[in-house]
A and B are shown apart, each in its own frame.
Chain A
């Protein structure tokens, strides 16, 4: 009886979350161009994607930015997490609060504020502004991910390193980093996903010369339902599922 009650509360929400995506994925295999009814299975929309050079370009641009931004953000974010965990300094609580505020701050405000900054600096919209912007909004998420892992540590390990006269750098390199490596990878994955997902901030900092996948999709989606958009969306959902599984494996608590 209790199980039935639990199922009654869980199942509708899962259905709501998944049904639209499942329908989308199913229709990406529909051979009818006007996806109102099922007209048989086909791979052709996926084939059509491969022939769309504009789209391939945008995808490559997105991947480049996501990999670079995630790597930069992971380095900076991890160092910040370690500094917040290890050291006492003036303004520490302000830095902590700042990281939290940035995570919460509305994308649209970050987008227009960076637009102003890059205009003032005379930077043309495109690759560099995009990379700087993406790195910026990923840093707090890496810091939070790594901090949550550091909290669970046995501080004696670090004391032991200090007793053995390891300096700050060697303690970091040989004790702290190996211990939080899964969280560092997880932070990288999270950053990669955030970068691939962002529409609002990218909208303001990149231009027609450097098109990226989410903005390309945005332009396509505004035209209405199209089978090749379905196929592209299905691929992206598939990639996300793989990333989430990997993230979950990395963040699993060791018993």
Chain B
């Protein structure tokens, strides 16, 4: 059974080696670079230093970090509050058109997020959608532009990332066992109590997965502040991009990337423990 063994090796080996080469190795490179010294001529000099980490502890970066966490965190919260009732209704609805309704969520999920960011310009600009509604209702006398404001960034982040909150929430609500809710009702729990003590804990993995899928990209999508924020509001993504391409401070940019990876791993751990508690294995999505 020589071919069997060969097949087994190839099937497992090819992708694993590929991912080790193009994911693991580059990430190790980032980790190493974050501990090296900045060098004008050849980007980095092979000498140990903590300058990279000093950079991300400097007020310049901390400002960017706090601002990013505020922008991404608020956007995540808005997405969660908007998506939960929506996903709940979608999962429970009994309609012939349920497939179509779900498909309508998939389309924006798959649409180029740059194009969707661009579409937001039509809503925010002077004489844009919001402006026309406001002047039409007589709330504003003159056309108002919302471009290049903090509001524009919230709008852009929420708009591009909302589908990424809806889908994980939908799948965890869809898996809910109806009998659990009946049991809660039979035991005299009101709707609020049932929600807090039964539904919320059972859909927690979906909530965390959704928050991760909104929060993490929101820290990195440098083109949203670029297009809608007019470059006034920087996020971590802009900072990393600038360190690598403009400021030529590779250790600084690498240290910020390491920080992002750590935030991701922390959130994933959180997701892992919460879904294991429900008797599932971490990485069950696969």
Contact = CB atoms under 8 A, between A and B. Distances in A.
Interface of A: 6, 9-10, 13-14, 16-21, 23-24, 27, 36-37, 76-77, 79-80, 82-84, 87, 89, 93, 95-102, 104-110, 112-117, 119-120, 132-133, 135-136, 139-140, 143-144, 147-148, 167-169, 172, 193, 196-197, 199-200, 203-204, 214, 217-218, 221-222, 224-225, 229, 233, 236-237, 240-241, 243-245, 247-248
Nearest to B32: A116
- Between B5, B105, B112, B120, the greatest number of chain A beta carbons within 10 A of the residue's beta carbon is seen for B112
Contacts of B66: none
Contacts of B223: 199-200, 218
Interface string B245-266: 0000010011001001100110
Interface in B148-182: 159, 162-163, 166
B244 A82 contact: no
B8 to A, nearest CB: 6
A237 B110 CA distance: 9
Contacts of A139: 15, 18-19
Contacts of A13: 82-83, 86, 162, 166
6 contacts: A21-B116, A23-B123, A106-B220, A109-B260, A197-B112, A225-B122
Given A82-B11, A108-B260, A139-B15, A20 B285 contact: no
A112 B12 CA distance: 27
Nearest to B123: A20
Nearest to A37: B127
A14 B102 CA distance: 11
A168 B3 contact: yes
B115 interface: yes
B219 A106 contact: yes
Nearest to A113: B26
Given A13-B162, A80-B11, A200-B221, A136 B112 contact: no
